[in-house]
């Protein structure tokens, strides 16, 4: 059993603990249950919308306005997602999109 943490307000420690917890689900269903416990329905919806917009920005030629009209996500949020997808050094969206694309592509070993 993992040791219990000490109480803290340190954002880096809290974030590291959350990241470790988010790595524990072994399936989409398990992740859904964890997110349901961690987040409000609106927080989950917001995360899901951001992920959807990132995939639209990466995989289509839709304009920001077209994405806004189709999804209802604000253009300010769309611009922010595009910046993180294309310019920021974190590359979290890029890594996740590329990993999913690799896992969903047909194998060349046929």
Mean pLDDT of 66-87: 98
pTM: 0.86
How much is the pLDDT for 1? 60
How much is the pLDDT for 105? 78
Residue 72 φ/ψ region, left for φ over 0, alpha for ψ in the -120 to 50 degree band, beta for the rest: left
Contact 101, 108 (CB under 8 A): no
Per-residue pLDDT tens digits for 42-67: 999 999 999 999 999 999 999 999 99
**What span, in angstroms and rounded, lies between the C-alpha atoms of 94 and 98?**
6
Closest CA to 80 of 42, 39, 46, 41: 46
**What span, in angstroms and rounded, lies between the C-alpha atoms of 89 and 98?**
16
Mean pLDDT of 36-42: 98
């Amino acid at each position: 059993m993992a040791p219990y943490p000490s109480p803290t307000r340190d954002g880096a420690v809290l974030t590291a603990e959350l990241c470790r917890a988010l790595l524990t689900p072994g399936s989409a269903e398990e992740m859904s249950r964890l997110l349901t416990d961690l987040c409000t329905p609106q927080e989950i919806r917001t995360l899901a919308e951001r992920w959807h917009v990132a995939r639209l920005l990466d995989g289509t030629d839709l304009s920001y306005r077209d994405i806004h009209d189709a999804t209802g996500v604000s253009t300010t949020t769309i611009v922010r997602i595009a910046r993180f997808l294309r310019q920021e050094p974190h590359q979290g969206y890029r890594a996740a999109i590329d990993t999913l694309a690799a896992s969903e592509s047909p194998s060349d070993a046929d």
